[in-house]
Structure 1
Amino acid sequence: MPLLSRRDFIKRTLAAGLASGLVLFGLEKTAGGATITPRGTFYDLTKCDGCQGLKVPRCVSACREENNFKFPRPAEQIEYYWPQKKKEDWQDKRDLTTRLTPYNWTFVQHVQVKHDGRVLDVFIPRRCMHCDNPPCANLCPFGAQSKTPEGPVIINPNLCLGGAKCRDVCPWGIPARQAGVGLYMKLAPRYVGGGVMYKCDLCYHRIKEGKIPACVEACPRGAIVFGDKEEMREQARKRAREIGGYIYGDKENGGTSTFYVSPVSFAKIHEQLMMQKNRQPNPEAPGFPGMPEGVGNFLDSVNGIAGALLAAPLAGAFAAGYAAYRTIKGGEDHGG
């Protein structure tokens, strides 16, 4: 019998738990049993100019308007939870559009990079990469995250306890936490959890209706393209060949559904992003991701394998229990 690779071993071990998650979200197949084609996104950074002249880029404004109904609405009084004396509360920064927050799921970074003897302005729209084998979803012990057949990785706000394990294992630290909301408020707000994690879900509610994400629709320069994942990958490769450029997202974290093409190397872009981050008042604060090249997937590590083996049965049981509860109550997940 041939030996299994570590990735195959993880996938087989997680199958039962993840299957429960898919049933929870009703994603295993369409009503007619048709196969669902994964979607992807292609960002052409030669076309993005950050919507110069506007206070907020159109993709950011469109995302905020479209997904406002999913944003957190915390309790008026938020307690610290034991044993920590901290909380992540973004209520007074709801209008912040220059980093990722629970109220801002995409933003545009701007760097200047020296290339071929001149300085180029590069604008990079940022949000969840929607990875092929997402550690965030596979390691959540409560099954609060799931990789959908269409491609988006989504968070169920009714299951999330805000433990932030998803952010810890994300190479870009994408998910943002808001305290004072979610399941932990109903269980033991002073002792359990820290809130709910929020991030881009690629306007999943629109995708299910056959529409495209709001950010894609709003881009005035056609810098964001959305469609069949493999077609997006090929478009990115073709564009990179045309300009002698570089691709990001094809291999990072084991592969993603998001492909960037830039005329300058992402190593240079990442260097500039890190310099910007280090100039922030709190450089360690999440929400301002870099673009490290060739970053590996945590699930391919020994700790990742162990974590996946522990998380899968817990996630499956928790998700199954919640699915039963929803069936009894006849409810729907808000924002799912």
Structure 2
Amino acid sequence: MNRRAFLKTLGTGAGVLAAPTAATTLLARDAAAASGEQLATLYDLSKCIGCGACVEACREAHASDYPQPKKPFPKMYPARVKAEDFSDKRDIDDRLTPYNWLFIQSATVTRDGAPVTVNMPRRCMHCVHPPCVELCPWGSAVRYDNGAVGIDPTICLGGAKCRTVCPWGVPQRQTGVGLYLDLLPAFAGNGVMYKCDRCQTRVAGGGKPVCLEVCPEGVQTIGPRSEIIAAAHALAKATGGFIYGETENGGTNTLYVSPVPFADLGAALQTGPGRPGLHAAADVMGKEQNLATAVLLAPLAGLAAGLLRLTSRVKTAARKEDDHA
């Protein structure tokens, strides 16, 4: 299919797409989230031995989801836009990458005069009101009814807005893959963003995240958020522990209970790209400017998502035709 035919098909499809109604705006989504019981997970960090079984299981379970980039990469404009390529570093497991959606972050702090080492499985926090979803201009970041947050790789253009607005900088980009290659490869995004979707397919089918299933120490549990919060408080009270994730960024669906204060852990962690911190994380979507932007953006993002999905289908159909030619 040549470029003219491609654009003609895209334009025809766009004409039949109805613009999203007000029901898809931020306020309606927030109301739905508030009235439903999202699933949350609780990590008892006193149990984690840092064995890495969860990391390995995650990599195996999602191997087919990882990007297979085309090289050489298109030259990007402006020149300050740099390629992000982990395709030759797929074995990295001490940080988040497009090929590693979960890693163990460890820190040793002094508590009551004795050193205490805490191991933390780190991945997407799955926020209750995720800024990546509300502020993605293309509608490629999605929140599922069960409280998990994912990114649709078939329509993501890799603009990294999700990473910019994430308090923990979780999503990671791989250049040379995705829809941008068929649109404006020199200008449109630079790849696809990747992160944990909390094993959405497994959970939607009644299963559990694979990291939870393989853990030999029973570190993680999953359940309705209200029950998980109650369990976190009960555990913290029984052990003298500390909670993270209940209120950070307006509340998340990932809660940690640690035997030492998270401020101490955060100060001892090695942080940076792909290695989140443990800061207080103010509510991004509670800021008036972001809230207003999201309300205005939601219908446009919904329309953009529809157009991009149509484009993706056209691209897939064209590829199949070429394969059979």
Report the TM range for the smaller structure's normalisation.
0.7 to 0.9
1:322, distance to aligned residue in structure 2 (A): 4.5
Which of 282, 290, 315 is residue 277 of structure 2 equivalent to? 290
1:14, distance to aligned residue in structure 2 (A): 7.2
Q: TM-score, normalised by structure 1?
A: 0.81
Alignment RMSD (CA, Å) = 2.5
1:211 aligned residue: 207
Q: Does 1:245 align with 2:232?
A: no
C-alpha contact 2:154 2:179 (8 A) present in aligned 1: yes
* CA distance 1:326–1:208, change in 2 (3 Å): farther
2-side partners of 1:81 and 1:297: how far apart?
A: 33
Which of 165, 189, 192 is residue 188 of structure 2 equivalent to? 192
1-side partners of 2:122 and 2:200: how far apart?
A: 17
Secondary structure in 2 matching 1:91: coil
Q: TM-score, normalised by structure 2?
A: 0.84
* CA distance 1:88–1:328, change in 2 (3 Å): closer
* CA distance 1:253–1:119, change in 2 (3 Å): same
Q: Does 1:225 align with 2:221?
A: yes
1-side partners of 2:201 and 2:26: how far apart?
A: 21
2:63 aligned residue: 68
1-side partners of 2:193 and 2:157: how far apart?
A: 8
1:7 aligned residue: none
1:296, distance to aligned residue in structure 2 (A): 1.1
- The amino acid across from 2:289 in the alignment is N
Query: Mean Cα displacement is larger for which, 35-44 or 256-265?
Result: 35-44
2:322 aligned residue: none
1-side partners of 2:163 and 2:24: how far apart?
A: 24
Name which one, 1 or 2, has greater alpha-carbon Rg: 2
C-alpha contact 2:26 2:294 (8 A) present in aligned 1: no
1:24 aligned residue: none
Secondary structure in 1 matching 2:150: strand
Superposed, which structure 2 residues align to 1:2-17 within 5 Å?
15-17=23-25
1:208, distance to aligned residue in structure 2 (A): 1.4
1-side partners of 2:234 and 2:36: how far apart?
A: 25
1:48 aligned residue: 48
Gaps of 5+ in 2: 1-20, 318-325
Secondary structure in 1 matching 2:133: helix
2:94 aligned residue: 98
2:306 aligned residue: 320
> Which segments of structure 1 move beyond 3 Å, counting only runs of 4 or more?
17-21, 320-331
1:117, distance to aligned residue in structure 2 (A): 1.0
C-alpha contact 1:17 1:315 (8 A) present in aligned 2: no
* CA distance 1:14–1:43, change in 2 (3 Å): farther
Deviations 1:281-323 (A, max 9, x none): xx5xx20100112x21222224313431442122121123345
2:39 aligned residue: 39
C-alpha contact 2:46 2:258 (8 A) present in aligned 1: yes
2:122 aligned residue: 126
1:299 aligned residue: 285
Q: Does 1:162 align with 2:162?
A: no
- The amino acid across from 2:291 in the alignment is I
Gaps of 5+ in 1: 1-12, 22-27, 29-34, 52-56, 278-282, 332-336
Secondary structure in 1 matching 2:145: coil
C-alpha contact 1:38 1:151 (8 A) present in aligned 2: yes
1:139 aligned residue: 135
1-side partners of 2:25 and 2:228: how far apart?
A: 30
Deviations 1:101-156 (A, max 9, x none): 00000000110011111110100110000000000100001100111111100100
C-alpha contact 1:97 1:104 (8 A) present in aligned 2: yes
Which of 273, 293, 297 is residue 311 of structure 1 equivalent to? 297
* CA distance 1:168–1:328, change in 2 (3 Å): closer
Q: Does 1:79 align with 2:74?
A: yes
1:76, distance to aligned residue in structure 2 (A): 2.1
Secondary structure in 1 matching 2:62: helix
1:242, distance to aligned residue in structure 2 (A): 0.4
* CA distance 1:268–1:19, change in 2 (3 Å): closer
1:326, distance to aligned residue in structure 2 (A): 7.5
1:45, distance to aligned residue in structure 2 (A): 0.4
Overall identity of the aligned pairs, in %: 47
C-alpha contact 1:60 1:107 (8 A) present in aligned 2: yes
C-alpha contact 2:154 2:312 (8 A) present in aligned 1: no
